[in-house]
Chain A
């Protein structure tokens, strides 16, 4: 039952998309500035800032490396933690497994600045403040809710009859986990991984409290220079970020049913 949208509705959606894209487009265009100041429309367009960002300035190179390392590691860690929790809850879990799921979802549901302050205290007591591994653990905890949700959606989409059928054919729980549950939840697991990766890459406030200025990431670096005025090099970072996000989510859409993952009804036809 596909209906055509009313032209006014299509116009409204287009307008929303435009406003949504506007600031990012402006930042991107500013990357082309020839001079040192951030002007829009750009003056004396050049691609020199791209070279500067990726090859030249060691500050940006280190920040980029840290951002990437934290994003990938915390994504893997969060997914690895979320898997057993989601599985235990799906299994008909004990009270403890449900409490685990609730605790894991809490940091994401509360104001991030509060969690950041708390993590700052925590790492100060455990001598982790300003270390990369503390940053990785912090982001894993902050974004644990995301793979928890996607993996739970995936587990729910498994037909219980498959498990019963496998059991009648002699499969033990671990065999079922390996041969039925795991293959069917791979797309959802990967989606969760990508969500954490992208959001960690872009996260600012928690990392600010955890890093204690001992290391920088790209978002921290940008914030540091916020007050000194923007430089076009920062805009290059923005382009990089947006490309990474779009690529990651396009891959999620390719591998999995994105509308279903976001909570739409399974497709009927």
Chain B
């Protein structure tokens, strides 16, 4: 939550490694436990991704790269190419990118104003934000599902208030139909890529505020004031000072949220059309759902993990260069 989470070592302090005994034992114990809980799951995924599915729901250890081939070119390759899982990966990346960018873009002005309110007001806002960040994805989806469902919710509100008729009158209704947001008679949000992306944005929006809060509240106010005394209008101050100074934290926030959104399952399974589902959904299907092919699910997980790791590594590199 804070960018100063892990402090720099204290110079000249006696390292615990210098003493043999309790400290070392504790560290070794912790290392074994964390290796088991935090690292072993990832290692197992990698190992199992090379396994082979056998009759029924079972699988055996193997060193078969076939699962990866299936992700990238399809099971029947080279006779036949199938981009089904590549397409799912594409939707994973697309939704996550749009959701993360949209969340940071709207959370930025909010956080900017938030850091300009009093300490007490900030505390109340933070309680509200933390409460909403912790609301389970299933509740969020439930709430938006009611709001976006065709029988009740917003499409009904639009019909009852005459908004739908007005949209038809001015011709924008057809535009919305073009975007998949309407059926011939009414507005329709389910299922659509728009609803998926917006729910994802909603899901990580409080996270975006929490990520942007430290750099924004630590920004020296003298920087913006100096720009003002040099003739910069408020919009110019944001464009020429605030955004360039904060470009690394902003990019970092987008990347963190992107990685988080890669793994979103409930939202996609409810709001995305069957042809526009993501890798997370097919991982679920492979491991616990209809297809029951654990090695293939593991291979897809590794691909997702690789995308996430690539993104984090890229962010690290940018951050390292900027510092």
Contacts and interface: CB of A to CB of B under 8 A. Distances in A.
A–B in direct contact per CB < 8 Å: yes
B78 interface: no
Given A40-B153, A160-B10, A97 B16 contact: yes
A109 B297 CA distance: 20
B41 interface: yes
Contact of B127 (A99, A141, A253): A253
Q: Label chain B's interface by main secondary structure.
A: helix
B37 A263 contact: no
Interface in A22-47: 22-27, 30, 38-40
Nearest to B278: A113
Contacts of A115: 41-42
Interface residues of A, number: 105
A119 interface: yes
Given A39-B152, A253-B127, A20 B205 contact: yes
A9 interface: yes
A26 B30 contact: no
A24 B132 contact: yes
Interface in B255-289: 256, 259-260, 262-266, 270, 280, 283-284, 287-288
Interface residues of B, number: 101
A17 to B, nearest CB: 7
22 contacts: A9-B116, A16-B106, A40-B153, A88-B27, A89-B7, A99-B31, A110-B308, A112-B263, A117-B287, A117-B297, A122-B40, A138-B37, A140-B37, A156-B7, A222-B139, A223-B266, A230-B142, A238-B142, A245-B135, A246-B127, A262-B210, A264-B122
Interface of B: 1-7, 9-11, 13-17, 23, 26-27, 30-31, 33-42, 44-45, 48, 106, 109-110, 113-119, 122-124, 126-132, 134-147, 152-153, 202, 205-206, 210, 213-214, 217-218, 221, 256, 259-260, 262-266, 270, 280, 283-284, 287-288, 294, 297-298, 301, 304-305, 308-309, 312
The list of the 8 closest CB pairs from A to B, nearest first, reads A23-B143, A111-B263, A118-B41, A263-B214, A263-B2, A202-B136, A92-B13, A141-B37
